[in-house]
Structure 1
Amino acid sequence: MTNPQDDTGHAVLDGAAGDLLFRAARTASTFTDEPVGDEQVRAIHELVKWGPTSMNVQPLRVVLVRTPEARQRLVDQLMPGNKDKTSRAPLVAVLAADHGFDEHLPVVFPNAPWVGALFADQAVRDRTAEFNAGIQVGYFILGVRAVGLAAGPMSGFDADGINREFFPDGRHRVLAVVNIGRPGPDAWRERLPRLAYEQVVTSV
């Protein structure tokens, strides 16, 4: 099976896949009442886990906020414009960087015990966790779209407050909060312009 090509002759995603993941995909602000089950979240993970990270460290951790009590604790830490839509979303995920990701390196590299020494320095470990989990947040959003759901990622929150509420041991640090579900009425705001190729790409 061959990939379709654009007018430059380069292989690209087919139109439907490109629309689903990128061109037609939008950040959702409203959702239907249809629940999001664990099997759907597992399907997201089974896609997202294949995204590359530095030395396969995989520091992203996902907390599914399902109980009313936990949902309220989260909503209390959000900016006013994010509170109502998060209260109503079928599922909310808190995405965090695990700064103790090196605990799992013996599983990832069972025959290379020296790998752990690369992250013995706390500053190196912190930078690695934040950078790679940040990349994985992008994968997670694409994974949500790929299984036919809409994502509403947010950064408008009190990070220290969320960390106190959900990660009091200090090992995990929140990066994003993502509402997940089927898009509801008036889910999309007007799409804002994107930078052109010439504004983004330079050659040296």
Structure 2
Amino acid sequence: MTQALSAAALDQLFLQARSHNAWLDQPVTDSDLQQLYELLKQGPTSNNCCPARFVFVRTDEAKQKLLPALKGHNGEKMLQAPVTAIVAFDSRFFEFLPELFPIYDAAAPYRENPEAAHIAALRNGSLQGAYLMLAARALGLDCGPMSGFDTTQVDEAFFTDGRWKSNFLCSLGYGDASKLRPAGPRLSFAQACELI
């Protein structure tokens, strides 16, 4: 745990990894998705609150259900991908805190404060969505994260009880590297960071 990852591992996770929009005809199995979750769930969240929820859209029927909510070319990308994860969060995540964090009553700040619960769920659920992408890359899968969709439509189609809320989408599979555009630039350390 104190040793840096190899250059090859850093390339796979970060330096050579890309956001994919086109996919090879290669399946992602249920076992792959279960292994993916077993990895990503180990990432830290505040008080181990684990608010993220994942719906893995794989069947033609489920893809057609998701399609009307996507904007622009995102629909085509989702239809071609073997799997698209709806990365959501549970607005009542705190009900699991007695099990997940039994040290003290960590749910107390959220029971009567929906705004605080929303902020915690969105923040920590977004972290877990990032863990999903890192875990996928670690397992040899490629990712295609998307935010170009109507959250209200997704929530009405998939989360009718209103408890889960969609955050972002992420297609998963084996990307077609021949369809990648050149990598975009990133901000320098001096542009994005301060040492104080």
TM-score strictly above 0.5: yes
Mapping of 1:120-135 within 5 angstroms? 120=111, 121-135=113-127
Paired residue for 1:115? 106
Give the Cα separation in 1 of the matches to 2:167 and 2:80.
Answer: 21
Structure 1 position 87 matched with structure 2 position 79:
yes
Residues 184-203 of structure 1: matches in 2 within 5 Å? 184=176, 186-203=178-195
Measure the CA separation in 2 of the matches of 1:82 and 1:111: 43
Query: Matches of 2:53 and 2:115 in 1, distance apart?
Result: 19
Q: Deviations over 1:49-104 (max 9, x none)?
A: 11111111010100011221210111111012111111111111111011110121
TM-superposed CA distance for 1:184, in Å, is: 2.1
How many correspondences in the alignment? 195
Root mean square deviation, CA, Å: 1.5
Give the deviation of 1:31 after TM superposition.
1.0
Contact residue 19 and residue 142 of structure 2 kept, 8 A: yes
Which sits farther off after the overlay, 13-22 or 179-188? Answer: 179-188
Cα deviation, 1:12-37, whole Å, max 9, x if unaligned, reads: 32101100000000011111111111
Residue matched to 2:58: 66
The structural deviation recorded for 1:2 is 6.9
Contact 2:52 2:89 in 1 (8 A): yes
- The amino acid that maps onto 2:191 is Q
TM-score by length of 2: 0.94
Q: Is residue 49–residue 101 contact of structure 2 (8 Å, CA) maintained in 1?
A: no
Show the counterpart of 2:173: 181
SS at match of 1:76: helix
Please list every run of 5 or more consecutive structure 1 residues that lacks an aligned counterpart in the other structure: 4-11
What TM-score does the superposition give when structure 1 sets the normalisation length? 0.90
Aligned-partner Cα distance in 1 for 2:2–2:50 = 31
Tell me, yes or no, if structure 1 residue 166 matches structure 2 residue 155: no
Higher mean C-alpha deviation, range 62-71 or range 52-61: 62-71
Equivalent residue number for residue 21 of structure 1: 13
Report the CA distance between 1:165 and its aligned residue.
Answer: 0.6
Aligned-residue identity in percent: 38
C-alpha distance in 1 between matches for 2:81 and 2:102: 40
Q: Secondary structure at the match of 1:119?
A: helix
**d(CA) in 1 for partners of 2:17 and 2:61?**
31
- Give the counterpart letter for 2:110 in structure 1: F
- Confirm or deny: 8 A CA contact 2:89 2:165 kept in the other structure: yes
Q: In 1, distance between residues paired with 2:60 and 2:126?
A: 27
